[in-house]
A and B are shown apart, each in its own frame.
Chain A
Amino acid sequence: MKALDAIPIRPAPSPAANAPALLQEIAAALDALLLSGRRHCIDLGSLPLSPADRDLLRETLGTGEVRMELEALGNSRIEETGVPGVWWVRHSSEDGILLTESLEVCHVPEIVPAGTTDIAIGLQRLRQALALRESGGD
């Protein structure tokens, strides 16, 4: 049997078409962030992006100083690009499938800070652990 890749599937050749417009949108969003603190988010999955588009975005935005990994319902990668305030966010499922990919324009993506309820639940756990220690248990 022939190898599967011997069956050609030919996608139409596609130059960078949407990346330039996206970069303009990002510039406008940064302006708004500076002026009024308004955050903005672009869902990359909802746009037809060719490999050339992606290359152009990567190249222009570059790599920044912060890179975070989040483990909640699978892995997420949150990376600041070389343009401060522009974050490249990739959420994957538990089995490593990409769920969404977006560019967020903000000081810190909303998903990063600890939530109040989560803090309260964590505090409760900590207190229980402390109480257990004091009562001599282990």
Chain B
Amino acid sequence: MEETILDAFQQNGLSRRAFLKFCAATASLLALPPAAAAAMAEKLASTPRPTVIYLSYQECTGCLESMTRSFSPTIEHLMFNNISLAFNDTLQAAAGEAAEAARKEAMRKAWGKYILIVDGAVPLGAGGAYCVAAGQSAVDDLRHAARGAAAIIAVGTCAAFGGVPYAAPNPTGAVPVSEVIRDRPIINVSGCPPIPEVMTGVVVYYLSFGMPALDRQGRPLAFYGNTIHDRCYRRPFYDEGRFAHTFDDEGARNGWCLYELGCKGPVTYNACATLKWNQGTSFPIQSGHGCLGCSEPDFWDKGGFYRPLPAATGHWARGEVLGGAALGGAVVGAGMAMLARSHQKANAAKTAKEVGSQPQKEDSHEH
């Protein structure tokens, strides 16, 4: 009989209680009703231990850094040591040909059943020559690996939406995973990097209940169902129209809303405001800096991190939101951003022509 996840727990000297606790913690993390913890326990106790293949392409390894330095080491540890058998070329000891052989073997054994985690964008420019490992381009490698995958989890904004490599002028013709693979279920776990608990939570959810409900960007609603702004503790100040206008004014010191300083919280779907970062300590807005919108497509090219959003997203017209002093600053900032943007657009158009395969991404969630 195939080894189940519960077996893997028990072989590591963990009791049924530890297993139940793991399920309770994960169900709570996923915001599932508590009864789901029992269903999850039942399912995971009989589910064969899955193979997870983790492939990295055009990326900075920030996503993997995030995942391995996460707030509950227990859960992440279990995830990768007990629950799944992972291939990851950064974490594993083997290198070179031995690594390639290990990966081929893992894929062959679980062909058709493994979960493929992809981190990084895929460059199509110059025939894929911008990202080559062991003589194979990222795009060919991904196509091959996807054929044997039950599902693909695109981890990080680069894999999900193109991210930084995709930013104008996109010199390598980078595209997200979904532009290369169209015949496999893909779950986008965006963020630059994603919250570690979100990455592991998605894997556990998939194993227990199959595909999660996704938003129109392919992201699991459990984590990306609300904007940062929906759950921001500074929201009462936004509603009262109290804003910080510089990073050291009275408003900043009083912890008022960071909208005027370019906060992208109103158009950014992610769980930072509730799950937070670094052992649940804080998140950017709590540290006095606006949200960069890192979990949204094209966050890099949205005209400047410190430029206020182009329209008020609340119930007033933009004019009422802006104080006089802010207006001056915003106009200068916007002017600069527009210059930068038109420059980028020209470059982007040029690259698009050169590369030919550059997809036009729709703008997301802007209301």
Most chain B beta-carbon contacts within 10 A, residue among A9, A45, A73, A97: A73
Q: Are B286 and A94 in contact (CB under 8 A)?
A: no
Given contacts A9-B286, A73-B18, A117-B10, contact A99 B28 (CB under 8 A): yes
- The smallest beta-carbon distance between A115 and chain B, in angstroms, is 3
Stretch at the interface among B70-78, B104-112, B146-154: B70-78
Q: Are B253 and A7 in contact (CB under 8 A)?
A: yes
Stretch at the interface among B31-39, B310-318, B326-334: B31-39
Q: Are A115 and B28 in contact (CB under 8 A)?
A: no
Bound complex: CA A8 to CA B251 (Å): 10
- CB contacts (< 8 Å) of B20 on chain A: these are 110-111
- CB contacts (< 8 Å) of B25 on chain A: these are 91, 93, 99-100
Of A7, A46, A111, A118, the contact of B21 (CB 8 Å cutoff): A111
Q: Is B50 an interface residue (CB 8 A)?
A: no
Q: Are A94 and B18 in contact (CB under 8 A)?
A: no
Of B28, B233, B279, the contact of A100 (CB 8 Å cutoff): B28
- CB contacts (< 8 Å) of B286 on chain A: these are 9
Q: Is A33 an interface residue (CB 8 A)?
A: no
Q: Are B21 and A73 in contact (CB under 8 A)?
A: yes
Query: Residues of A within 8 Å of B, CB-based: how many?
Result: 31
Q: Are B236 and A12 in contact (CB under 8 A)?
A: yes
- CB contacts (< 8 Å) of B71 on chain A: these are 97
- CB contacts (< 8 Å) of B241 on chain A: these are none
- CB contacts (< 8 Å) of B34 on chain A: these are 41-43, 102
Q: Is A95 an interface residue (CB 8 A)?
A: yes
Q: Is the interface of A mostly helix, strand, loop or mixed?
A: loop
Bound complex: CA A115 to CA B15 (Å): 8
Bound complex: CA A42 to CA B24 (Å): 11
Number of A-B contacts (CB under 8 A): 87
Q: Is A74 an interface residue (CB 8 A)?
A: yes
Q: Are B255 and A9 in contact (CB under 8 A)?
A: yes
Shortest Cβ distance from A112 into B: residue:
B17
Bound complex: CA A76 to CA B255 (Å): 35
Bound complex: CA A100 to CA B280 (Å): 13
Give residues 223-256 of B contacting A (CB, 8 Å).
233, 236, 253-255
Q: Is the interface of B mostly helix, strand, loop or mixed?
A: helix
- CB contacts (< 8 Å) of A12 on chain B: these are 233, 236
Of B16, B21, B29, the contact of A115 (CB 8 Å cutoff): B16
Q: Is B180 an interface residue (CB 8 A)?
A: no
Bound complex: CA A93 to CA B15 (Å): 15
Query: A105-128 toward B: CB 8 Å interface, digit per residue (1/0)?
Result: 000001100110110010000000
Given contacts A11-B233, A115-B17, contact A97 B24 (CB under 8 A): no
- The smallest beta-carbon distance between A96 and chain B, in angstroms, is 10
Q: Are B21 and A72 in contact (CB under 8 A)?
A: yes
Bound complex: CA A97 to CA B280 (Å): 9
- CB contacts (< 8 Å) of B280 on chain A: these are 97
Q: Are B72 and A99 in contact (CB under 8 A)?
A: yes
Bound complex: CA A97 to CA B73 (Å): 10
Q: Are A46 and B28 in contact (CB under 8 A)?
A: yes
Given contacts A93-B72, A97-B71, A115-B15, contact A43 B33 (CB under 8 A): yes
Of B27, B75, B254, B279, the contact of A10 (CB 8 Å cutoff): B254
Bound complex: CA A12 to CA B254 (Å): 13
Give residues 54-85 of B contacting A (CB, 8 Å).
71-75, 78
Q: Is B14 an interface residue (CB 8 A)?
A: yes
- The smallest beta-carbon distance between A55 and chain B, in angstroms, is 20
- CB contacts (< 8 Å) of B29 on chain A: these are 99-100
Bound complex: CA A93 to CA B73 (Å): 8
With A46-B28, A72-B15, A99-B72 known, 13 other A-B pairs at CB within 8 A are: A7-B253, A12-B236, A43-B33, A72-B18, A72-B21, A73-B22, A94-B74, A99-B75, A100-B29, A102-B34, A110-B20, A115-B17, A117-B10
**B interface list, Cβ under 8 A from A:** 10, 14-18, 20-22, 24-25, 27-29, 31, 33-35, 37-38, 71-75, 78, 233, 236, 253-255, 279-280, 286, 288
**A interface list, Cβ under 8 A from B:** 7-12, 41-43, 45-46, 70, 72-74, 76, 91, 93-95, 97, 99-100, 102, 110-111, 114-115, 117-118, 121
Closest 4 CB pairs of A and B: A115-B16, A41-B34, A100-B28, A99-B25
